[in-house]
Each structure stands twice: as structure tokens, then as C-alpha cells.
Structure 1
Amino acid sequence: MFNPSRDQVRQFFVEAWQKHLGKHVLTPLETMAVQLIERHPEYHQDLTDPDALQQDYAVEQGKSNPFLHLSMHLAIDEQLSIDQPPGIKAAYQQLLLSHDAHNASHIIMEALGEVLWDSQRLGTPLNNERYIELILRHSTRDR
């Protein structure tokens, strides 16, 4: 399993964006990253700022971490492509009944963040059932 460091993840997004801006050939994963970056113009400056690689994106600063956000998007896209955990694809389809694809991904991201937080705080494995439940709860609440 590939487990990149924080610096490797940041470098990947910065380099993908630089290659895109320079009109260079992108790998399939870089193409996915660039598509996500394009949907997040609020991160464009961060991805061209040389200091962003070392920036501390503390919650107290009131600014989201673009690298974490984009990484979560990539993770969710992967989960959806292989329906893992089982049921996430169907839950996503439910969200699409009332949300566009990008907003649906953000809802899933909130659910993922919550179950990741719980897992880290409690020292337990990720609760996949709770993850799907949180997504489905949002899809029925919004109709």
C-alpha cells in the first residue's frame, strides 16, 4: 500500500498543478488531481506559493488545508470507483438526487472526517457502517 509522507503529498499536488499550468503531459493521477484543483480556485495561490510546502494549516488560522482537502477528494473518488467500503457508491447515488457531484463529495468528506476523528480519538478501526450511515442520513435529510 502506498503511504506517502506529508511532504510527498504536498509536492505531488504542487507539481501536478505546475505541470498543468506549463501545459506538460500529466499522468492519469495528476489529471485527476488537476481536475480537483480546478474546482477549488481558492487553493490556486497555495499551490503556486513556494512557502505552501512548509505551511502549517492550523484550524485556529481559519484557513483550510488545501492538501488535506484535495487528498480527501482523491480518496473518496477511489472509494467510489471500487465501492469500498461497500455501499458508498449507492449512498453517493442517493446524494446525487439532491446535490451536484462536487457538493455530494463534500458531504462524504464531512462524514469521512467524522469517522476518521472518532477512529483516531478512540484508537479503533474506521467504522465503515457509521460512515455510510452518516452519508445516507444527509441524503434523506436534504430532500
Structure 2
Amino acid sequence: MFTPSSHDVRRFFCEAWRKRRAGEVLTPMDAIAADWIDRHPEYHDALRDADAAVARDYSVEGGQANPFLHLSMHLSITEQLSIDQPRGIRAAFETLAGRIGEHEAYHEVMECLGEMVWSAQRHGTLPDTDAYVECVRKRAR
């Protein structure tokens, strides 16, 4: 199983963005990542220099959002929707996106995903995917 380090993740996004800007061939995952980067121009500067990106600290105390966490969540949700895993996430997302728009729906789903991960870590349990899907459903109402 592949478990990338935070540096690996940062380099992946920077490289996908570099390839997109250079007009190079992208892998399917690079293309998905670059599409999300396109939708987040506020992150473009942070992704131009991979070495600086690896060295940068995005601590909560710094008050700046971590673009790599945000983009990683977009990728995770994209994958979940593509395979409807956890079951029901795609339908809940589609209902939510129909109400507020696709990109905003992704951000709402991120909130639910973050809550699920936080709760599992806090309680030392497996992620509660049923609660996650229900959270998205509630936001879709």
C-alpha cells in the first residue's frame, strides 16, 4: 500500500501544476489534480516552487489554509464520488450540488469528511461512513 509523505503530496501537486502550465502530458491523476488547481487560483503561487512548498509550514497558528490538504480532500471526494464509496455519497452529493452548485458542494462535503476524520481520531475508532453520508444528506436539504 502506498502511503505518501506530506512532502510527496506537495511535490505531486506542484508537479501536476507544472506539467499543466508547460502543456506536458498528464497522467489521469495529474489531470484531476490540475483541474482542481485551476479552480483554486489562490493556490497557484504556492504551487510554483516545489522546494518552497515542501519547506512551508501551514500550521493552524499561522492562520493560512493548507492548499495541499484542501486539494487532497478534493481528490479524495472525487474518487469517492466516482465509485460511490461510501455507498450513498454520490446521490447525497448530487442532491447537494443541485441545490448549491458543484464546487460549493465539494466544500460542504469537505466539512463532513473533516468531521468524520476528526471524530475517528479523537475517539480512536474507525471512521463512521454512515454519519458522513448523513451529514452530506442534511446539508442537501
**TM-score between the two structures when normalised by the length of structure 2:** 0.95
Q: Distance in 2 between matches of 1:96 and 1:17?
A: 26
- CA apart distance, 1:38: 0.3
- Please list, as runs of the form range in 1=range in 2, the aligned pairs for 1:42-53 lying within 5 A after superposition: 42-49=42-49, 50-53=51-54
Ranges in structure 1 where 5+ consecutive residues have no aligned partner? none
Q: Kindly provide the CA deviation profile for residues 63-85 of structure 1, in whole angstroms up to 9, marking residues without a partner as x.
A: 11011110110000000000000
Q: Kindly provide the CA deviation profile for residues 96-130 of structure 1, in whole angstroms up to 9, marking residues without a partner as x.
A: 22111111111101100011001111110000111
- CA apart distance, 1:2: 2.7
The aligned residue for residue 84 of structure 1 is 85
The aligned residue for residue 55 of structure 2 is 54
The aligned residue for residue 24 of structure 1 is 24
Give the partner amino acid of 2:66.
N
Give the partner amino acid of 1:103.
E
- CA apart distance, 1:53: 1.3
Q: Distance in 1 between matches of 2:98 and 2:15?
A: 35
**Matched-pair identity in %:** 51
Deviates more, 1:1-10 or 1:79-88: 1-10
The aligned residue for residue 13 of structure 1 is 13
The aligned residue for residue 125 of structure 2 is 124
**TM-score between the two structures when normalised by the length of structure 1:** 0.94
Secondary structure of 1:97 counterpart: helix
Which runs of structure 1 show a deviation greater than 2 angstroms over 4 or more consecutive aligned residues? none
Give the partner amino acid of 2:137.
L
The aligned residue for residue 112 of structure 1 is 113
Give the partner amino acid of 2:20.
H
- CA apart distance, 1:22: 1.2
